[in-house]
Amino acid sequence: MSNEMISRHGTDQTMKSLDAKWRLMNAALEKLGQSVTTKPLPARRTGHLLVALDLTGSRAESLKQARKATAAMFEAIRAIGSVAVKLAYYRGSCECKAGAWHDDAEKVCRSMLSLSCESGETQIARVLRLALSENEKLSGLVFIGDHCEERPEQLLALAETLGTRSLPLFIFHECADHDAWSLQAKPLFERMAKLSGGVYVEFKPDSGAVLKELLSSIAALSVGGVKAVERMALPTTSEGRQLRGRLLLGSGNGKH
């Protein structure tokens, strides 16, 4: 994770500025014989995550797992801050849409309940362009999918643009050992995440607990940076521990 990315998520500079102003104000009040003011509390941060889902083919079970993991994510970061989520998805031959921003787990999950899967080719490039055109300042883009049927050059160029905008791409790759298409997509997904300053994590199908921990860690990062990730309960899955370690070490920032 780059210094730019960490500073964008953190609030250290803002709080230092507030502390300095508070000390100066109290010094002036003391000279006037006035009572000292109470130190201001830090503002509660809200992260903004665009969560994109591959809804092509028979991914109904994956959608169900994503819905449960998203609900658990909101609960997991409640003590740290709040996160607003916008769902995006693609399915069929040419459908790629994004919804509204929601900071409530029930509303997000209700939106997911209305979704279904439809066979078609991947439209990852359109998802990346949605993120780049978003008016709200994003904390990150999360993509959950398995295959890729698009030109690598185009996707890599878009991922690099995400990196120049300090918009990390977190790819949670559902990769089955027997699925040649998902195995073929792995090197490209890894490269895309790296170029954007994000992180790639592979997980197996029907791994709801893994997806919950992955989403929760990224949500915490979006709210309060690596310090918020440290405050989260230690992951119980190997994939969750892998992601946490990479976020804390800042090892997902390479742009070579």
**How confident is the model over 187-226, as pLDDT tens digits?**
999 999 999 999 999 999 888 899 999 999 999 999 999 9
Task: Provide the whole-model pTM.
Answer: 0.80
Q: Is 24 exposed, middle or buried (0-12, 13-18, 19+ CB in 10 A)?
A: exposed
Domain that holds residue 173: 46-249
Confidence band for 39, pLDDT divided at 50, 70 and 90: very low
Look at residue 48 in the predicted model and tell me its pLDDT.
96
Q: Is residue 14 part of a domain?
A: no
Q: Is residue 17 part of a domain?
A: no
Q: Is residue 181 part of a domain?
A: yes
CA–CA gap between residue 183 and residue 191 (Å, rounded): 14
Q: Are 213 and 226 contacting, i.e. CB atoms less than 8 angstroms apart?
A: no
Q: Is residue 77 part of a domain?
A: yes
> How many domains is the chain built from?
1
More confident residue, 96 or 81: 96
Residue 136: closest CA among 99, 89, 184, 92: 99
Q: Is residue 125 part of a domain?
A: yes
Q: Are 203 and 41 contacting, i.e. CB atoms less than 8 angstroms apart?
A: no
Q: Is residue 185 part of a domain?
A: yes
List, in sequence order, every beta strand (DSSP E) within the chain: 46-54, 82-91, 95-102, 140-145, 169-174, 199-203
What CATH number is associated with residue 210? 3.40.50.410
